[in-house]
Amino acid sequence: MIKVAPSILAADPINLERDVRRAVESGCDWLHVDVMDAHFVPNLAYTPDVVRRLKESFSVPLDVHLMMDEPETLLEAFLKAGADVLTIHAEIGEKAAGLLEIIRESGALAGIALRPGTPLEAIDGLKEKADLVLTMTVEPGFGGQKMDERVLDKIRALRDSGYGGYIEADGGIREDNLQRLIDSGLTAAVMGTALFRIADMRAAVERIHQMKRTKNEE
């Protein structure tokens, strides 16, 4: 069953607890928390304190995505705050390998992310240290963008490589394009506006949980 991870970036910031509770009560598997430093991506969002309060208030695992040039500066803070999955970007270079090891040693799942234009080869030597590979399906920074379908090839190639961890995608994912992602090998879907702006989120999550790979997407 595919993991459904609503992105709280798409929630109403004035009513964040209300919207997160709605997602949890709708049966989501993880809560996706984007952390942006206004350098790696042109936006700014969430702090360790937000993760800590989410951890105190909800039992759903927290899937924390560090879109940062220097994630090492806050890695320990997010782990202590309660991140269950902590993802860094391959684009930060050689330090990524050591940070993945630190995350795993903490007991959290370690994730490595790729921007749409970054080739899969960038995680050679890293995916073995990662429990999750996050393929960005839009340029990160803002919600509500259209999914770049070229990333389907990247997901398929990762699946065909024999990678055994979670394959996650984030950006422009909706129910009407999710089946192609699943057929390509996706096992975890980050969904923002497509979930938070729907009237019956519970029904949507139930439909997504029922989706299975129907063919090998070629």
Enumerate the active-site residues: 34, 170
CA quadruple 20, 24, 28, 29: dihedral sign: positive
101 contacts 129 by C-beta, under 8 angstroms: yes
Q: Do residues 148 and 169 touch, judged by C-beta distance below 8 A?
A: no
| Residues in CB range of 169: below 8 A, 6 or more apart | 134, 135, 136, 137, 151, 155, 181, 186, 188, 189, 190
C-alpha span between 14 and 8 (Å, rounded)? 12
Beta strands in 103-186 (DSSP E): 109-114, 132-136, 166-170
Q: Confirm if 170 and 176 have CB atoms less than 8 A apart.
A: no
Per the listing, tokens 């951890």 go with 55
Instruction: Answer yes or no: are the C-beta atoms of 165 and 133 closer than 8 Å.
Output: yes
SS3 66: strand
Name the CA radius of gyration of the chain, rounded.
Answer: 16
